[in-house]
A = this chain, B = another copy of it.
């Protein structure tokens, strides 16, 4: 089966990727596989966490309603919450705004052993900031290189970076917005802003193509995920992570084994010492008695 996970080339045209693509899978098949994949992810997390050698950073980007929240819920809910943090980046606070755009992001990068998921990220500063002219062009156009340098710093220091663009069509977005209006339970999520934002669709696509193209690096590749079908989106994100992390598992497990061996040796030495002390503290009579036998 040919899964359209692609590392972005220098020039990306989103028109070439079909958001309806399902890699020839059925819904049933994808959901069954997702279950297995999330279990494998949870097992991998144990080794990652214990080895304290590397960390994992997952960046989720996509238009409104593309399913960033749903992906988090479906792919990462079975992980141990002690080793997984999700960070959502909204409009910057005043304090954040007074720093360079990577400051608030850098604070949320994962320490060794941890998995962090970014719901939106540093890329908003070359997306919404550009589309709505919040930042002058001479400022945002330097950011692609700045992001690449930042991500290389992380990568050089043991952070494994996975960036997913959840790709939906404009029609699918409309369907999802309308569905939200018709669902009383989800009405609180509604916002006029979401509809207004649709007028900027083409500008967003252009900004995304630039971000995917200019920041699709060897150390932090972009994965374009067809996301009109939620079940395929979930499957593909999980599949990509498991596929890329699996080769590292044996490395982490070796590290763990070595550490376990060292710990066990130390403990045995400790127990022996305790035993000797215990013997040493025996009443002299008993010792003598033992000797005599």
CB pair A82 B184 closer than 8 Å: no
Knowing A195-B267, A263-B187 are in contact, say whether A88-B79 is a contact too (CB < 8 A): no
Contacts of A61-116 to chain B: CB distance below 8 A? 69, 72-73, 76-82, 84-86, 88
Q: Mark A261-282, 1 if CB is under 8 A from B, else 0.
A: 1011011001100000000000
Smallest CB gap from A194: residue in B: B267
CB-defined contacts of A271 to chain B, threshold 8 Å: 195
CB pair A188 B50 closer than 8 Å: yes
CB pair A181 B82 closer than 8 Å: no
CB-defined contacts of A188 to chain B, threshold 8 Å: 50, 256-257, 259-260, 263
CB-defined contacts of A267 to chain B, threshold 8 Å: 181, 190, 192, 195
CB pair B82 A88 closer than 8 Å: yes
Which of B82, B86, B270 is in CB contact (< 8 Å) with A195?
A: B270
Q: Does A117 contact B (CB under 8 A)?
A: yes
Residue of A69, A79, A186, A188 contacting most chain B CB atoms (<10 Å):
A188
Smallest CB gap from A271: residue in B: B195
* Chain A interface residue count, Cβ-Cβ cutoff 8 angstroms: 39
- In the bound assembly, the distance between CA atoms of A271 and B192 in angstroms comes to 9
Q: Does A28 contact B (CB under 8 A)?
A: no
CB-defined contacts of A189 to chain B, threshold 8 Å: 50, 263
Q: Does A26 contact B (CB under 8 A)?
A: no
CB pair B81 A81 closer than 8 Å: yes
**Chain B: minimal CB distance from A120 (Å):** 12
Q: Label chain A's interface by main secondary structure.
A: helix
CB pair A76 B81 closer than 8 Å: yes
CB-defined contacts of A185 to chain B, threshold 8 Å: 260
CB pair B78 A82 closer than 8 Å: no
Q: Does A119 contact B (CB under 8 A)?
A: yes
Which of B72, B82, B192 is in CB contact (< 8 Å) with A73?
A: B82
Smallest CB gap from A273: residue in B: B192
**Chain B: minimal CB distance from A164 (Å):** 15
Residue of A73, A78, A119 contacting most chain B CB atoms (<10 Å):
A73
Smallest CB gap from A187: residue in B: B260
Contacts of A170-218 to chain B: CB distance below 8 A? 181, 184-192, 195
CB pair B270 A192 closer than 8 Å: yes
Contacts of A98-157 to chain B: CB distance below 8 A? 117, 119
Which of B81, B192, B256, B264 is in CB contact (< 8 Å) with A84?
A: B81
7 contacts between A and B (CB under 8 A): A50-B189, A72-B82, A73-B80, A73-B82, A77-B80, A81-B117, A189-B263
